[in-house]
Structure 1
Amino acid sequence: MAYCLIVDDEPDIRTLVALFMKREGVPTLEAADLAEAREQLDRQGEEIDLCLADMRLPDGNGLDLVDEIRRQRPHLPVAVITAHGQVEAAVRALKAGAFDFINKPIEQDTLRRLLRDARNLQPARPATPPAAGTEGNDSPLIGQSRAMRQLREMIGRLARSQAPIFIQGESGTGKELVAREIHAHSSRAGGPFVPVNCGAIPGELIESELFGHHKGSFTGATRDKPGLFRAAEGGTLFLDEIAELPLPLQVSLLRVLQERRVRPVGGTEEVPVDVRIVSASHQDLHQAVEAGRFRQDLFFRLNVIGLRVPPLRERLDDLPALSTAIVARLAARDARPVPSIDPAVFQTLAAQPFPGNVRELENLLERAMALTDGDRITEEAVAPHPMMTGEEEPASALAACPGFIPETDEQRNVLTALQQTRWNRSEAARQLGMTLRQLRYRLQKWGVE
């Protein structure tokens, strides 16, 4: 690394950071205000690889510098320095394009982590799509539709930041794949990627699973357990179906995000953690906040950067590439020749609603391959089959739950999946990307039996 530019009006802060950087072999430049910082950037901007800027400066706001650098030098990472407890200020900085933030008083471990992440940054580039018919060593996000090109471009940009990301998308769209791509293109790619389904962990165990526990802290705690936050140290923690998190745990999670420390169950001291949080849900968290099921302050903290994964119906142009790649992967798994796909198959697929999105497409193609004896998948193999989906119209499926009228896309998707699986709840849950417990909870809440 060349120079680190330190922008702070407190000489002690500048000296502290400069001494640390010198020990790490990084020369520094210093500025006491925005004007000096701009002069340094004009003189030696090409040789500056990292900038640390205080939020409050005598002649302006550190966010102004963040915005200028983002527009003029987008590859230069900027970390802002905030007073302890100024979470909203840190979130504003991340939304404005800051690479990361550090709190006062500044700790050496925090500076060491920041320097490591800045050194590991890769040039911003979109995730490269795999060629059709391959398994995609570069990216599992297949397709050349406009929606997918935009998604890959966003992944390349967001991977350079340490800001929390919230991924919204319907069940089966590939939210975990997107989270893995963000991790793989980030400065944390060498660390672990730890996925957690918040809806699949029993409520009484989720605090212990996330934060860890000490031996003897509750019945069954026969040994110390570090927890998933500490398991993701130096990497990314992916909190899937974050909307399923119980309200009491939402309070604990908010504190962890603010303090970057966890307290194990039964413990008295907090342990520092170094993880990036990526969360996801198929639910609309804005509605969950309005309904009182999700804390607004936690949503504000998680949704620093929002990312939407398009459903399959919005990228039907990708059906041939997706289908070809899925069939090739399934054939490799089963050690059989890769069957070809009749062109008419894609027209049949495009006419289907796919409430389960890419996951449902994969299930359908797996069934088609099982029904295909030869080396070619035909239109008949993917056509709706009465023994598999039932011949009833959606209204007849509702006859089993009189008085219930679906009002949301989620309710319609669930009922459609149940109809297609002849009310096999386990299979419907699999198609929808839910656990059976999550599906049962929804049906009970909606009064559907």
Structure 2
Amino acid sequence: MSRILIVEDEDAIRRVLIKIIKNENTSFVVEEAADGEEGLAKIEAADFDLVLCDIKMPKMDGVEVLEKVQAIKPEIPFIMISGHGELETAVESMRLGAFDYISKPPDLNRLLNAIRNALDRKKLVVENKRLKKKVDKNYEMIGESEETTRIKGIIEKVAPTEARVLITGENGTGKELVAHWLHQKSERSKNPMIEVNCAAIPSELIESELFGHVKGSFTGANKDRAGKFEAANGGTIFLDEIGDMSLSAQAKVLRALQENKVSRVGSDKDIKVDVRVIAATNKNLKREIAKGRFREDLYHRLAVILINVPSLNERVADIPLLIEHFTEIIAAQQGNAVRKFSEGAINLLKTYKWTGNIRELRNVIERLTILGEEEITENDVQLFANK
């Protein structure tokens, strides 16, 4: 159930907007305010999923309301309502953080599309915040080895900047962990980080996933849909396994990076986006370029900063701290006491070759905590590690 606030000083316009919204979805809860001061007071007192706000109002204009709400509840999307001669102000409100603007009198389809897209964006932001609360612990960078310390140092320098980052490394080394740290330590951390696994999305759907689509643009496109670049506006988009992206999608990503614009599949309308791009791959992109499978111009756009995440075999000194970290997480998830590992067990685990890297180590630790005794011994490792 979505809560929508209409801030509009003209009673007739409020009535029209309420009717349109209720006809779209009767479950929507719609509240109204007759001026900017009343609207701001309602926003401060309650949570809303969307605000439709007139620009020219007595007491406090819509731009001032937008600016004040951006400071206290930036996750609420604003659709500005502009009258004749207010187009320049409407565009300025977009720069200040408004999601969209609608001219008076409101066009039905334009208004409904804006409302749907704004509510979709709000859901993504809320979900991202919910996940982020879980993520902080799970994505903590564990280790004090020389290799891990080097990466932490790079992150501290790079995160506060707008530089694009390309993260390389084998599967399971923690590339997504580095991406999360870059975002969480950046000025964009209050806005969403949207993740896209380029290897998991069929090539014929990747462009729609990244850039959105308009209704009827292909079979199954039953309504307009915002893409991941739009959802990440003001924040970060993480393109994981970008080496698996199709060449046609690469061309569109390159344009987005060059012009800060995207266009939905089936549309020729440009949409401005402000997105920091972090990409990751387990492939050698220079080799992929030589084989014609990856665009060299895109590579140079992405690889402003290169971070190579070493394999677990290259950072064996981190294994004791990783064991401690994983046992605490697993115990909390299973509701059990934290298991202890003997020195012999730890030393034996340090001698193994970890082809699956940190992901494999975590699975082994979980297996040992389930099958081992109160203290995990060298004998338990030999029996259950399956190495």
Structure 1: segments with no counterpart, 5+ residues: 1-23, 25-106, 114-134, 390-419, 421-449
1:349 is the counterpart of 2:325: no
Query: 1:259-292 CA deviation, whole Å, 9 max, x = no partner?
Result: 1110001112110011100000011111111121
Matched residue, 1:180: 180
Q: 1:215 to 1:298 in 2, by over 3 A?
A: same
Matched residue, 1:250: 250
Alignment of 1:325-344 (within 5 A): 325-344=325-344
CA distance in 2: counterparts of 1:139 and 1:291, whole angstroms: 34
CA distance in 2: counterparts of 1:159 and 1:314, whole angstroms: 24
CA distance in 2: counterparts of 1:138 and 1:332, whole angstroms: 12
Residues 210, 229 of structure 2: 8 Å contact kept: yes
CA distance in 2: counterparts of 1:256 and 1:235, whole angstroms: 15
**Cα displacement (A) at 1:139:** 6.4
Residues 365, 382 of structure 1: 8 Å contact kept: no
**Cα displacement (A) at 1:381:** 2.4
CA distance in 2: counterparts of 1:382 and 1:270, whole angstroms: 57
Give the length in aligned residue pairs: 262
1:268 is the counterpart of 2:268: yes
CA distance in 2: counterparts of 1:338 and 1:200, whole angstroms: 35
Deviation above 4 Å: which 4+ runs of structure 1?
107-113, 135-139
CA distance in 2: counterparts of 1:110 and 1:168, whole angstroms: 36
Query: 1:326-384 CA deviation, whole Å, 9 max, x = no partner?
Result: 01100110000111111111221111110111000001111111212x32111222226
SS at match of 1:205: helix
Residue identity matched to 1:294: F
Query: 1:395-441 CA deviation, whole Å, 9 max, x = no partner?
Result: xxxxxxxxxxxxxxxxxxxxxxxxx7xxxxxxxxxxxxxxxxxxxxx
Matched residue, 2:233: 233
**Cα displacement (A) at 1:196:** 0.7
Residue identity matched to 2:281: S
Residue identity matched to 1:330: I
Residues 166, 304 of structure 2: 8 Å contact kept: yes
Q: 1:287 to 1:238 in 2, by over 3 A?
A: same
SS at match of 2:203: coil
CA distance in 2: counterparts of 1:110 and 1:219, whole angstroms: 32
**Cα displacement (A) at 1:109:** 8.3
CA distance in 2: counterparts of 1:381 and 1:232, whole angstroms: 46
Alignment of 1:13-412 (within 5 A): 137=137, 140-372=140-372, 374-383=373-382, 389=386
Residues 319, 350 of structure 2: 8 Å contact kept: yes
**Cα displacement (A) at 1:202:** 0.7
CA distance in 1: counterparts of 2:248 and 2:208, whole angstroms: 13
Q: 1:109 to 1:280 in 2, by over 3 A?
A: farther
CA distance in 1: counterparts of 2:302 and 2:383, whole angstroms: 41
CA distance in 1: counterparts of 2:263 and 2:376, whole angstroms: 55
SS at match of 1:194: strand
Residues 207, 265 of structure 2: 8 Å contact kept: yes
CA distance in 2: counterparts of 1:182 and 1:315, whole angstroms: 21
Residues 239, 280 of structure 1: 8 Å contact kept: yes
SS at match of 2:360: helix
TM-score, normalised to structure 1's length?
0.55
**Cα displacement (A) at 1:295:** 0.7
Query: 1:33-85 CA deviation, whole Å, 9 max, x = no partner?
Result: xxxxxxxxxxxxxxxxxxxxxxxxxxxxxxxxxxxxxxxxxxxxxxxxxxxxx
Structure 2: segments with no counterpart, 5+ residues: 1-63, 65-90, 98-134
CA distance in 2: counterparts of 1:163 and 1:311, whole angstroms: 25
Q: 1:334 to 1:189 in 2, by over 3 A?
A: same
Residues 256, 262 of structure 2: 8 Å contact kept: yes
Residues 215, 221 of structure 1: 8 Å contact kept: yes
Residues 243, 283 of structure 1: 8 Å contact kept: yes
CA distance in 2: counterparts of 1:370 and 1:139, whole angstroms: 23
CA distance in 2: counterparts of 1:219 and 1:138, whole angstroms: 39
CA distance in 1: counterparts of 2:383 and 2:145, whole angstroms: 26
Residue identity matched to 1:377: I
Residues 338, 375 of structure 1: 8 Å contact kept: no
- Identity among equivalent pairs (%): 42
